[in-house]
Structure 1
Amino acid sequence: MRTVEDVTNPPGLRDRKKAATRAALVAAAADLARAKGIDGVTADAIAAKAGVSTRTFHNYFASKEEAVLAHLEGLVHSWVGRLHSRPAGEPVWDSMEAVARQIVSEPDGDFVEMCSTMELVDQSPALLARRVEMEVRASQLLVEAIAERTGTDPRVDLYPSLVRYAAVSAMKSAVELWLAGTSGAASPEELVRAAFGQLRQGLS
């Protein structure tokens, strides 16, 4: 049975509204956590800053920690999408490096939020524990995308998991060194390129 809402708000519009609400909650959670620390943030405060009810907040997130970390999980989805868009015949390692370099080369996009979230995680044991849970959940998406691209089966082949762990670790190491400010590199992309280069050489 179709309702008035179904007629006036087609699925595409509803989806866009949901995405906008979720983005507003994620931004509010990150802003408040940066200003007050995660311990000083509540679901009520996040909802109020985003202009929605606390009930709406809980429709999207189970906890304030989940909301703060949502960008990192979204980054995995972004990586998967970018990986799917790479040329079909491109070696998977080249594709993974290209995607990582794209992400850190966007000063007003994913990279800024990723750095901000990583700094918050470093300051909070609670966020660190939740990040581990999130990474376990999200990493399977990337493993499956790598398996699809390489014609392997992650249920029996080590290769897709190894590529995922190596690529993500390379990017994470590069970002952490960039944030430390001690590398002398001109850009985070330079460090990502160096990290992947060292892995190609077997870290010898």
Structure 2
Amino acid sequence: MSELLGLRDRKKAATRIALSEAAARLARERGIDAVTADMIAAEAGVSVRTFHNYFSCKEEAVLHHLEASVYEWAEWLRERPETEPILDSLECVVIRAVTDPAHDIEEMQALAELIDASPTLLAKKLEMHVRITPVLADVIAERTGTDGATDLYPNLLHMVVGAACKASLDLWASGRTSAANPEEVVRQAFDQLRHGLVLPVR
């Protein structure tokens, strides 16, 4: 019975991912306003009814991979050695994310630009942000002996690292950096965080 339930869960997860990828792909190609649930279902090879079993709207489907990534990052952070300094652990998590062959950096940046340009996607993203913000902050709190619900430190560190990651990828995507790859920019960002964002000497 447990094996059967495990298979069902994997099939459900695969269907959810297929729908989300189809939604993101269509939104990048045509713009979110031109995409419908029917189109997403057809692209993923399932029925519209199946689509609505997994997502309430097309925006939710497009954003699903972002939410899934947060939970994945939380698991990666939990896997790091407990004695490792928290900034080192977070750097390893971010490096793992930007070098993961399963996630194309250019596609991620294209989707980020799509979200920023769409009021409906931005609104849904804000709703999602409120819901999932505690996920990483709570893991950071576990690692640092703080309280994610009441202490500033884990929440501040979570936000700072998120901003560092976004700034690094935005700079890399712009082509205005001499860094050889996104990993190098991320490492530079964490070095600056460790030094308290001291003004660089030129």
Determine if contact 1:170/1:196 at 8 Å carries over to the other structure: yes
Matches within 5 A, 1:155-174: 155-174=149-168
Match of 1:15 among 3, 9, 19: 9
Matches within 5 A, 1:101-116: 101-109=95-103, 111-116=105-110
TM-score where L is the length of structure 2: 0.91
Q: Does 1:97 align with 2:91?
A: yes
How far apart are 1:103 and its partner, in Å?
A: 0.7
Gaps of 5+ in 2: none
TM-score where L is the length of structure 1: 0.90
Query: Following the alignment from structure 2 to structure 1, what is the Cα–Cα distance between the partners of residues 88 and 33?
Result: 41
Q: Percent identity?
A: 56
How far apart are 1:21 and its partner, in Å?
A: 0.6
Q: Secondary structure at the match of 1:154?
A: coil
Query: Following the alignment from structure 1 to structure 2, what is the Cα–Cα distance between the partners of residues 31 and 66?
Result: 14
Paired position in structure 2 for 1:72? 66
Q: Secondary structure at the match of 2:179?
A: coil
Gaps of 5+ in 1: 1-5
Q: Secondary structure at the match of 1:10?
A: helix
How far apart are 1:124 and its partner, in Å?
A: 1.7
Q: Does 1:121 align with 2:115?
A: yes
Deviation digits for residues 124-183 of structure 1 (CA, Å, limit 9, x no counterpart)? 222122222212211111111111111211222111101101111110111111111211
Please identify runs of 4+ aligned residues in structure 1 that moved more than 3 A.
110-113
Paired position in structure 1 for 2:125? 131
How far apart are 1:57 and its partner, in Å?
A: 0.9
Deviation digits for residues 14-48 of structure 1 (CA, Å, limit 9, x no counterpart)? 00110111011011101111111001001111011
Root mean square deviation, CA, Å: 1.7
Determine if contact 1:75/1:110 at 8 Å carries over to the other structure: no
Query: Following the alignment from structure 2 to structure 1, what is the Cα–Cα distance between the partners of residues 21 and 69?
Result: 14
Paired position in structure 2 for 1:3? none
Aligned AA for 1:202?
G
Distance 1:116 1:71, change over 3 A: farther
Q: 120-129 or 43-52: which moved more?
A: 120-129
Aligned AA for 1:88?
E
Deviation digits for residues 74-120 of structure 1 (CA, Å, limit 9, x no counterpart)? 11111101001101111111101110011111244264553232122
Aligned AA for 1:51?
G
Determine if contact 1:82/1:99 at 8 Å carries over to the other structure: yes
Aligned AA for 1:70?
H
